[in-house]
């Protein structure tokens, strides 16, 4: 009888343990093609952001650029900067560092710090010397070769490919 009591206590204890949950993402990567992406902020983020990427080969790039070289406005659910980004496949997988802030930040000073920090395995906003409130999101992406376009097909009515017409157009070869 004591064993059943111990089992019930253990079961109650284990069922009461909270699940470990990952923190919600601040941004998402939307793959458009094998090597083209959009970076889209989620709801509740700070109003400005800037993006830097580091590749497997060690190349650091600043993706968000303005005339003043400062952070860009970031709306939830819309691609950052209103553009898509093509990631070079020959540089391997990338890590995208997205810095959300409550004010426009000087991208030049952030870039210097990001280059310094790339020797570390990871870092966050607290490791950088940035004014105001800043949060970070680090996303990973592995580019793939884009699919080759179909060449030599004849386009029929309503934009459909006419497979039989292609062979007759080149002499039935």
Domain range list for the chain: 21-141
Q: In CATH terms, is domain 21-141 a member of 2.60.40?
A: yes
The model's confidence at residue 168, banded by pLDDT at 50, 70 and 90, is very low
- pTM of the model as a whole: 0.70
pLDDT tens-digit series, residues 65-121: 889 999 999 999 999 999 999 999 999 999 999 999 999 999 988 888 888 887 776
CA quadruple 117, 118, 120, 121: dihedral, nearest 10:
130
CA distance 53 to 26: 16
Question: Which residues, 6 or more positions from 87, have their beta carbon under 8 angstroms from its beta carbon?
Answer: 35, 36, 37, 53, 94, 141, 143
Instruction: Tell me what the mean pLDDT of segment 24-46 comes to.
Output: 92
Q: What is residue 43's predicted lDDT score, i.e. its pLDDT?
A: 93
């Amino acid at each position: 009888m004591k064993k059943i009591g111990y089992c019930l206590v253990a079961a109650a204890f284990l069922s009461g343990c909270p699940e470990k949950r990952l923190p919600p993402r601040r941004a998402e990567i939307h793959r458009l093609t094998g090597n083209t992406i959009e970076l889209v902020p989620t709801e509740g983020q700070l109003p400005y952001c800037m993006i830097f990427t580091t590749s497997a080969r060690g190349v650091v790039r600043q993706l968000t650029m303005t005339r003043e070289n400062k952070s860009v406005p970031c709306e939830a659910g819309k691609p950052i900067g209103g553009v898509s980004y093509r990631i070079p496949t020959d540089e391997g997988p990338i890590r995208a560092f997205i810095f959300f802030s409550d004010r426009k930040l000087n991208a030049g000073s952030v870039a210097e710090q990001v280059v310094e920090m790339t020797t570390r395995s990871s870092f966050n906003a607290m490791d950088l010397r940035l004014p105001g409130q800043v949060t970070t999101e680090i996303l990973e992406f592995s580019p793939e070769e884009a699919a080759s376009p179909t060449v030599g097909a004849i386009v029929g009515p309503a934009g459909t490919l006419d497979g039989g017409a292609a062979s007759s157009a080149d002499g039935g070869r």
